[in-house]
Amino acid sequence: MPIHWLSSRPSPSHIDASLYRHDGACVGGRDAWPVDLPQTRAGHFDRAGRGMTARWGDAVPRQVSIAGRLDNRPVRLSPMVDSLHFDAHAEAYDRGRPPYPPALWARLQDDGLLRADTRVIELGAGSGLATGPMLRAGASVTAVEPGRALADILRRRWPEANTQITGAEDVPLPSAAFDLAVAATAVHWFDLDVVLPKLHRALVPGGHFAVWRNAFGDPTAPVTPFRKRVAAITDRRRALPPPVPGEFDTAAWVERLTRTGHFAPSSVECFSWTIELRTDQIRDLFTTFSNWSSAEADEAAQAVDDLGGRVLEHYTTPLIILEREE
């Protein structure tokens, strides 16, 4: 069974982990898992007796996560389960993910970061949800996306983008060739110790890195009947602490994105917005969430049906702008 692990430390020296299903059942003993990893992203470990092997970056089955101790500190090692989840649901992703709010694009343009002549490197571009508006603003975009199905949609829809099918860690980038780097709902997938120095080299002096994501919720909004139903679904899961900061924890993200010294914080802003979604749209959207099973997405869709076929959702888009350090 291939295992993917992701930790806050890209090159841990020792992992002592256990495998859990999402219902909390332990399916791999901690004692069976002591491993000494080489100081490289391509480390592997075996689980004696059951022939499990893992390489950094392998996909993990959706129902499994890894928790344990890393360099003697408790961690959850595989939070996001499968970074190619989106690619496996590329069509639903393309249909189901709502666009970024107009106020975000206005902010980037008002700040002079997105202009007709801006050269953009976009990492984790998906099917082009953010690529399109940047091209329409006149920018040139190099879009990096490891999922082939998503990249195919992006190429079909936006042939003028230079689409590279590979990961942010692996894409070769020319030096000082871009004015703006963008990660739209994607930065939490990257090995930042690799990606931040790479972006620093690829950006011109004075260049910026804009990091944002659609957070599908708004902690300040009233809890709607639909949200109560969603909470009933997620409450059934084993609650493991997330290994990366939560989507609303912009301070922690700024710290993570600046601690290598390649970028300095420039601004942080949060855009709140609402959208009315039908049953089919909720099914598509929730299917795209990497921590939701299809059965759970169906349950969320059923909740919309029960509530009349449409729900008003309150969403938030935090935007972090970083400036390239000299």
Ligand X SMILES: C[S@@+](CC[C@H](N)C(=O)[O-])C[C@H]1O[C@@H](n2cnc3c(N)ncnc32)[C@H](O)[C@@H]1O
Which residues contribute to the site for ligand X (CB under 6 A)?
83, 86-87, 97, 123-126, 129-130, 144-147, 150, 167-169, 184-186, 189-190
Nearer to ligand X, 178 or 189 (CB): 189
- For the record, the structure tokens of 46 come out as 């075996």
Nearer to ligand X, 32 or 248 (CB): 248
* Residue 142 Cβ vs ligand X, minimum distance, rounded to whole Å: 12
- Provide the 8-state DSSP code for 98: P
* Residue 295 Cβ vs ligand X, minimum distance, rounded to whole Å: 21
* Residue 80 Cβ vs ligand X, minimum distance, rounded to whole Å: 9
In angstroms, how far apart are the furthest CA atoms of the chain? 60
* Residue 131 Cβ vs ligand X, minimum distance, rounded to whole Å: 8
For residues 225 and 262, what is the distance between their CA atoms, to the nearest angstrom? 44
* Residue 25 Cβ vs ligand X, minimum distance, rounded to whole Å: 27
Nearer to ligand X, 11 or 302 (CB): 11
For residues 59 and 2, the answer to whether their CB atoms sit within 8 Å is yes
For residues 289 and 121, what is the distance between their CA atoms, to the nearest angstrom? 24
* Residue 148 Cβ vs ligand X, minimum distance, rounded to whole Å: 10
For residues 199 and 281, the answer to whether their CB atoms sit within 8 Å is no
Nearer to ligand X, 28 or 96 (CB): 96
Residue whose CB is nearest to ligand X in the complex, by number: 126
Using alpha carbons, list the distances in angstroms from residue 207 to 6, 124, 303, 324.
29, 19, 45, 5
For residues 80 and 57, what is the distance between their CA atoms, to the nearest angstrom? 12
For residues 140 and 229, what is the distance between their CA atoms, to the nearest angstrom? 43
Nearer to ligand X, 75 or 150 (CB): 150
Nearer to ligand X, 67 or 183 (CB): 183
Nearer to ligand X, 47 or 186 (CB): 186
* Residue 105 Cβ vs ligand X, minimum distance, rounded to whole Å: 13
Q: Which of 183, 255, 293, 270 is nearest to 219 (CA)?
A: 270
Please provide the size of the chain in residues.
326
For residues 215 and 150, what is the distance between their CA atoms, to the nearest angstrom? 20
Element (H, E) at 47: strand 44-47
